[in-house]
Amino acid sequence: MNQNVSKKYYEIIVSKNFEDTKIDSFLEKNNVKCIYDKRTGIGPRISKCISMSKGAIISFLEDDDSWTPERLSIVIQEFLNDPNLGYYHNAYIPINDKGEITKEWIHHKNIRKTIRLKPNYALRGQLAKVMKYSPDFNLSSICISRDFALQSASKIASINYAVDVLLFFESVYNGYGVMLDHRRLTMYTIHESTMNKRGTFDEFESSSLELYSGHLVAFGKILEFIDRGDLKQFVSSYQKEWVVRIEILRGKKGRWVLLRTLTVDAKLFFIRRDYSKFIYMFGWFSFFFPKLTKYAYHFYLKNSLVKYAKTNKSVEDFPKPCISES
């Protein structure tokens, strides 16, 4: 609602799984399409929204994130400038529960420089460099062309997690142009629900196993969709990471699955980002000291939230994104 581009150039579609008189009245008053959908999986709900959309560009916004007012102006400009562009991803501003600027999330590096990948570009040696910027992280930083959205809608509908990862690899796999924009146009919220660390250890263990298993199933699906070896390696590296996380929480029960995951194609832990190397190290500790590692893993994740409560600067401290006059 706060975008500085004229409302006639974009539509807003909200998908939610609850009814609220005040919210529903606000949406209706502001000409927002609202889809009431009880399904918990994000993929089917996004696919339904895509089918109801009319725009040439699809831009996602999750319920705990927000955009700077200039974002859609910049997105429209970039897609107009490049008719081959199918996937766009901008940098983010990390904020905490209070809406204050905090430190960037250790699990995902921010985009430091603008990178443009031409359609069907040569992947060898290039994708690894691109992956260090986490180009497949956070739906609220992603826009895709309508053609790409319609082409991928059925695949999106088949997964309940990791839609952002699917969109990036599908765009490369299908030969669309890719742009990673260093401008910070999304405010990404880092909080307890993001880190999945609320409640007792038993509650953490139960909810995490459910979450991790869901991601593992999703990456199995993504691997079915992508049959190019160079791309499968990166998707497989995610899959291995989720297996390790699951077996860390399973403790002694998962030691031999863990050993096989850590030793077979161990190089996959090192081709993507630093956090994969961290999980690889935690996995080996878990094999030798399963109970200690399980609690240490929980302690690390829970206490890593402390640093995200610290404020570095305000939104105004970031330079304003440049918008051309065209």
CB 121 within 8 A of CB 75: no
**Predicted pLDDT of residue 262:** 95
**Predicted pLDDT of residue 308:** 64
- State the amino acid at position 85 in one-letter form: L
CB 262 within 8 A of CB 286: no
Task: Give the largest CA-CA distance in the chain.
Answer: 62
Residues 6+ apart with CB under 8 A from 49: 13, 15, 35
N- to C-terminal Cα separation, the chain: 23
Q: Which residues of the chain have pLDDT under 70?
A: 106, 120-125, 192-199, 273-274, 304-326
**Predicted pLDDT of residue 164:** 96
CATH number of the 7-192+311-317 domain = 3.90.550.10
**Predicted pLDDT of residue 96:** 82
- Spans of all domains in the chain: 7-192+311-317, 194-308
Q: Which residues pair with 99 in a beta bridge?
A: none
- Tokens read off for 273: 């980002």
- Tokens read off for 33: 């399409």
Query: SS3 letters for 169-207?
Result: HHHHHCCCEEEEEEEEEEEEECCHHHHCCCCCHHHHHHH
| C-alpha torsion angle, residues 2, 90, 45, 276 (rounded to 10) | -140
Q: How far is CA 70 from the centre of its chain?
A: 21
pLDDT digits over 126-167, tens only? 777 788 888 999 999 999 999 999 999 999 999 999 999 999
pLDDT digits over 159-210, tens only? 999 999 999 999 999 989 999 999 999 999 887 655 555 567 888 888 889 9
